[in-house]
């Protein structure tokens, strides 16, 4: 079994390699890289391994950038010191993720999982990779492009009251109260807008902080938002999101 390590801390890379060797002596470490550029160069010129360990934060960027430059057709186990990064990585393509400092028992569990699923086809969602890069670099969208008849219109995030969905379609409601249809789902939008400015209050609405006129108590421990623009339906903060919503308001 051939594998790679992409890690910019040499001691961490050495420690990881020693643990893998202890757990699986038959595994063969092909190379260790400390940057996006060096890993990409090698992957373009050599046969790919069966497995790789990618640290998320590297010397010259984020390891997700590797996916944009090379077709990754092998499983990746991400390592990171940041829990929120790990959770996002886990949703992309990783077999598992490991929080630093890497624990040998957790490493063994991840390798076991890899071996049990190695025959499963590996797929990469390039749009998810781009979204993750934007998130980890705090490069959030500042505007959205919408189609109005035969024309394209740019809507700045500062001019958006909220995003909402209805009848399987997604819309932007601007600060003037007009709706514009967009192609993205609310799940996709939630990942690319600045979380300090927008919050997903329920399954069908992402509210803008500056569009909240009032907040009132509602039934079943929920909250009702009174927006600054006209809306035909109540905007209700779902019960499971109330706590997070209150924390968001105080940031």
**CATH at 236:** 2.40.50.1020
Q: Tens of pLDDT along 85-144?
A: 555 555 554 556 787 888 899 999 989 888 887 766 555 555 566 666 666 566 688 999
120 and 43 part of one domain: yes
CATH of the domain at 100: 3.40.50.2300
Residue finishing a domain among 136, 170, 199: 136
Does residue 64 share a domain with residue 42?
Answer: yes
Distance separating alpha carbons of residues 249 and 225, to the nearest angstrom = 12
Pair 73, 166 in one domain: no
The span from the CA of 22 to the CA of 127, in Å, is 37
Range with lowest mean pLDDT among 114-118, 128-132, 181-185, 192-196:
128-132
Same domain, 131 and 153: no
Residue 242 has pLDDT above 60, yes or no: yes
Do 13 and 91 belong together in one domain? yes
Clarify whether residues 60 and 155 are in a common domain: no
Mean pLDDT, range 225-244, rounded to an integer: 93
Q: Which of 136, 168, 198 is the last residue of a domain?
A: 136
Sign of the CA dihedral with 56 first, then 61, 65, and 71 last: negative
**206, 222: one domain:** yes
The domain total for the chain is 2
pTM for the complete prediction? 0.54
Rounded to an integer, what is the distance from CA 227 to the centroid of its chain?
Answer: 28
Which of these, 67, 65, 64, 99, lies nearest to 80 by C-alpha position? 99
Domain shared by 104 and 164, yes or no: no
**What's the mean pLDDT in 14-33?**
96
Same domain, 168 and 132: no
**Same domain as 50, residue 127:** yes
Range of the structural domain that residue 229 is part of: 143-249
Pairwise CA distance, residues 201 & 57, whole Å: 31
In a shared domain, residues 131 and 176: no
Please report the pLDDT score of residue 56 as a whole number. Answer: 83
Domain boundary among 88, 117, 136: 136
Q: For the residues 206-219, what does the mean pLDDT come to?
A: 96
Judgement on whether residues 149 and 187 belong to the same structural domain of the protein = yes
Res. 45 pLDDT band, cuts 50 70 90? very high
Q: Where does residue 71 fall: left (phi above 0), alpha (psi -120 to 50 degrees), or beta otherwise?
A: beta
What average pLDDT score do residues 174-198 get? 90
Q: Is 31 a residue whose pLDDT tops 70?
A: yes
Q: What is the mean pLDDT of the chain?
A: 87
54-102 tens-digit pLDDT: 998 888 888 888 888 898 888 888 887 765 555 555 555 455 678 788 8
Say whether 200 sits in a helix, a strand or coil: strand
């Amino acid at each position: 079994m051939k594998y790679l390590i992409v890690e910019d801390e040499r001691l961490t890379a050495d420690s990881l390699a020693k643990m893998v060797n202890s757990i699986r002596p038959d595994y063969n470490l092909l190379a260790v890289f400390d940057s996006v550029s060096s890993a990409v160069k090698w992957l373009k010129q050599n046969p790919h391994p069966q497995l790789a360990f990618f640290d998320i934060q590297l010397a010259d960027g984020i390891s997700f950038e590797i996916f944009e430059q090379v077709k990754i057709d092998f499983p990746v186990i991400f390592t990171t010191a940041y829990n929120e990064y790990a959770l996002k990585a886990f949703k992309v393509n990783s077999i598992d993720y490991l929080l630093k400092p890497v624990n040998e028992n957790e490493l063994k569990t991840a390798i076991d999982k890899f071996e049990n699923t190695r025959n499963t086809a590996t797929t990469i969602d390039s749009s998810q990779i781009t979204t993750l890069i934007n998130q980890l670099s705090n490069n959030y969208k500042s505007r959205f492009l919408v189609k109005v008849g035969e024309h394209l219109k740019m809507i700045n995030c500062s001019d958006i009251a909220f995003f909402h969905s209805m009848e399987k379609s997604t819309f932007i409601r601007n600060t003037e109260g007009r709706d514009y249809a967009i192609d993205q789902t609310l799940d996709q939008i939630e990942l690319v807008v600045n979380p300090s400015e927008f919050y997903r209050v329920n399954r069908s609405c992402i509210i803008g902080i500056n569009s909240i006129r009032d907040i009132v108590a509602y039934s079943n421990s929920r909250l009702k938002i009174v927006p600054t623009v006209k809306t035909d339906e109540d905007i209700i903060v779902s019960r499971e999101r109330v706590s997070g919503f209150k924390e968001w308001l105080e940031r």
